[in-house]
Amino acid sequence: MDTHSPNKRMPLYIQIKDFIIAEIEEGKLKPNEMIYSGQVLQDRFKVSKITTEKALQILLEEGVIYRIPGKGSFVSGKQAKSQVLENKKLNIAFVCPNLKSHHIMNIILGVEEIICSQGHNLLLRVTQGSFSKQKEILHELLEQKVDGIVFYPVEGKFYDDEIFRMKLTHFPFVLVDKMFDRIDTSYVVSNNEEGSYLGTQELIKKGHRKIAFFSQYAPASSSSIRSRIRGFVRALQDAGIEDPYHWVFDSFDEEVGVHLTYDEEHREKFIKRIRDFIQARPGITAVLAVSPGNLSYVVRGLRKVDAEFVKEVELAIFDIDEYLDISRTPMLCINQLSRQIGNEAARIILNQIENPQSIEKLMLDMEIKTI
């Protein structure tokens, strides 16, 4: 930022405007990257806030930058040297398993903030947790020639011909919440292992030794579940708790997990398995559930063991949902920064449209708090 010295003959707001444009042209500020804060510009040019705002307003009107309320100003994708996005309204698709998750809805909002602020279109497609539906939707989107896809895969098996087709043809797509083990691609995920480790540590600090970990999906079906189990097990091992895997729910059925959201029969089957798991492990004092929906099933399983027992067990959860129908406080929450995940995924997909062979991988910290 020291390479451009102020020209005292030129109005200060023009100096600031030209300085930012020069930084962009030289590649020091890249498309969709946040520009310098108003305070930084004020300090460098020794000007007032009004002067910097005037410069930024001109850049905004010229399409050089765009703003996201509460976050700042960013370099417009239109400034990229490839000019792929110049004067073109893009169609970006967001593919997700459902709209019932607070986590997913916040990711969508984060994607929308970036995509729509630049005048592009965001298309929403829902797979209903079905692998076959996911495959069908991806095929349709590729046939419709959308410009890029932000993709939240279904749990379970999710490799198919369309995914390999996207990879082989360098079609722009970025994963959120999941990683593919066998395909090198862009993704934005949370540091699930560390979040789970720290959350479990909090329970152990409170004196809990018999902590149960619950998920409706088998570890093999989800990279995020595997990471959370690793963190949970590591925390138990570090605390000297023997046989930590004994406390990981292991009565899985892929069909049960996939259909929980839509099928009461599968829900009842899952709840009975939770009850059996708890009864086989007397003395459980805390549970860690991988999602709000999962926690609601765990609570129903606890009630099947003993209606009073559920009141004695401390609950911990990933991704607290404000609509979670469980009257229990305090509750330990391990939350993903969902909106930021969406922001970053949108930024990556726009960059990838301009540079189809580029790959960017991001892992964000999780937030741990008691509510």
pLDDT tens per residue across all 371 residues of the chain: 444 544 555 788 888 988 998 888 888 888 888 898 888 899 899 999 899 998 998 888 777 888 877 778 888 865 444 444 555 789 999 999 999 888 999 999 999 999 998 889 999 999 998 888 999 999 999 999 899 999 999 876 656 678 888 888 889 999 999 888 778 899 999 999 999 999 999 999 999 999 999 998 777 777 888 999 999 999 999 999 999 999 999 766 655 555 555 567 778 888 899 999 999 999 999 999 998 878 888 988 988 888 788 888 999 999 876 545 555 557 899 999 999 999 999 999 998 998 888 899 999 999 998 87
Please tell me the class of the 12-79 domain.
mainly alpha
Contact 173, 148 (CB under 8 A): yes
Look at residue 124 and give its three-state secondary structure. Answer: strand
Contact 172, 358 (CB under 8 A): no
pTM of model > 0.85: no
Look at residue 28 and give its three-state secondary structure. Answer: coil
Tokens of 364: 């964000």
Look at residue 25 and give its three-state secondary structure. Answer: helix
CB-count exposure of residue 327 (10 Å: 0-12, 13-18, 19+): exposed
Q: What is the pLDDT of residue 83?
A: 43
Q: What is the pLDDT of residue 94?
A: 98
- Peptide bond between residue 292 and the one before it cis (omega within 30 degrees of 0): no
Q: What is the pLDDT of residue 262?
A: 53
Q: Where are the alpha helices (DSSP H) in the chain?
A: 12-25, 38-45, 49-61, 102-117, 131-143, 161-168, 192-205, 223-238, 254-259, 264-279, 292-305, 309-312, 338-354
Q: What radius of gyration do the chain's Cα atoms show?
A: 24
Q: What is the pLDDT of residue 286?
A: 96
Q: What is the pLDDT of residue 263?
A: 65
CA distance 265 to 76: 50
Candidates 3.40.50.2020, 3.30.300.30, 3.40.50.10680, 3.40.50.2300; correct CATH number of 91-189+338-366? 3.40.50.2300
3-state helix, strand, coil in the chain (%, to 5): 45, 15, 40
User: Residue 113, CB half-sphere, CA atoms under 13 Å: how many?
Assistant: 24
Q: What is the pLDDT of residue 336?
A: 95
Q: What is the pLDDT of residue 76?
A: 82
Contact 262, 128 (CB under 8 A): yes
Q: What is the pLDDT of residue 2?
A: 47
Buried b (16+ CB within 10 A) or exposed e, 15-26: bbbebbbebbee
Q: Beta-carbon neighbour count of residue 277 at 10 Å? A: 20
Q: What is the pLDDT of residue 325?
A: 56
User: Where are the CATH 3.40.50.2300 domain residues in the chain?
Assistant: 91-189+338-366, 192-335
Q: What is the pLDDT of residue 79?
A: 44
- Spatial CA neighbour of 32 closest among 64, 70, 59: 64
Q: What is the pLDDT of residue 323?
A: 47
CB-count exposure of residue 292 (10 Å: 0-12, 13-18, 19+): buried
CB-count exposure of residue 156 (10 Å: 0-12, 13-18, 19+): middle
- Spatial CA neighbour of 353 closest among 31, 33, 84: 84
Helices 12-25 and 38-45 meet at what angle, rounded to 10? 120
Name the CATH superfamily for 192-335.
Answer: Response regulator (3.40.50.2300)
User: Where are the CATH 1.10.10.10 domain residues in the chain?
Assistant: 12-79
Contact 289, 316 (CB under 8 A): yes
CA distance 193 to 96: 23
